[in-house]
Amino acid sequence: MAGFFARLKEGLSRSTQKLSGGLTAIVAKRKLDDDALEELEELLITADLGPAVASRIIASFRRTRFGREVTDAEIRTALADEIAAILAPVAIPLQLDPTKKPHVILVVGVNGTGKTTTIGKMAQQLHDAGKRTLLVAGDTFRAAATEQLQIWGTRTHTPVIAGPAGADPAGLAFDALTRATADATNVLLIDTAGRLHNKAALMDELAKIIRVLRKQDPTAPHTVLLVLDATTGQNAIQQVRVFKEMVAVTGLVVTKLDGSARGGIVVALAEEFALPVHAVGVGEKAEDLQPFEALDFARGLLGE
Ligand SMILES: Nc1nc2c(ncn2[C@@H]2O[C@H](COP(=O)(O)OP(=O)(O)O)[C@@H](O)[C@H]2O)c(=O)[nH]1
Ligand SMILES: [Mg+2]
């Protein structure tokens, strides 16, 4: 997994520059007095960690280091430890329930966050793990979305259930679950539309998908994965709130951590929602989706 950590660290480098560069400037100047702590708090907020996390970390630094001469290396390490402690409880890999045939995963999120790509990456990894998988092209609103999923299906040797543009996604999901149950498929991955500008329609659509799934399996969906795009920063917080009102989100995937300067958002999400972060995306290839590791991420963020 060293390769992935290297990519994660490289991907986070813009976030790191912001946080770590700012930190050096603050700490190098003087000892950790009120002004320095205040600047540090602002820096943490600017780096998208959120006001709650920032104030808690600053309170901790005040308790342990107030008035002391500190080095930026010491602060960097202490910060990485604090961040890792916040992230550790949410760093929970996605568990498939082997008694479910299939384990149904509903993938939701705003347009463009990376739902279809994440499903494609998961399909590849499931294929490599010898799992039988079926994909549902439930974003029937845009024809391109169905084609995009079909390309991933071909690439990963995974069948795709799709309909014409405008087809009822709930109908597709129902048919897919019938087929998946009949041939003992391990995982059913359902793509959905992310038309947040028409929230009522989207909510109805998701509710209907869930309703028809439950006609066949009252325990489905077993996972509701909300995909968030790290580059949207604080916006991601609002997206979680909105989607939690629509569906019972069980976990998050945070994409586009490569090249985003806003990786700190993962810390704010952990603090605010305590939802499991199952995986992170650091690129467009199948191997660029990996389980979320608290310490690796915290160290990556601080450039350690
Ligand atoms: N750099 C980068 N691009 C990504 C990542 N995940 C998805 N993308 C890209 O983001 C764009 C939107 O992704 P898509 O899966 O179509 O989003 P959807 O509308 O939610 O289904 C595509 O160009 C993807 O290749 C990631 O982790 N890193
Ligand atoms: Mg899509």
Mean pLDDT of 94-101: 96
Cβ contacts of 121 within 8 Å, gap of 6 or more: 281, 285, 286, 287, 288, 289
* Nearest CA owner, ligand 1 atom 14: 114
Q: How confident is the model at residue 29 (pLDDT cuts 50, 70, 90)?
A: low
Mutational pocket test of ligand 1: of 189, 257, 284, 290, the residue with most ligand atoms within 8 Å of the beta carbon: 284
**Reported pTM:** 0.95
Q: Which pLDDT score, from 0 to 100, does residue 6 have?
A: 81
Rounded distance from Cα 286 to ligand 2 centre (Å):
15
Can you state the angle between helices 72-87 and 22-29, rounded to 10 degrees? Answer: 130
Q: Which pLDDT score, from 0 to 100, does residue 2 have?
A: 53
Over residues 44-63, the pLDDT tens digits come to 999 999 999 999 999 999 99
Share of the chain above pLDDT 90, in %: 84
Strand ranges, E, within the chain: 103-108, 133-136, 160-161, 187-190, 223-229, 251-255, 277-281, 289-291
**Rg (Cα) of the chain, in Å, rounded?**
21
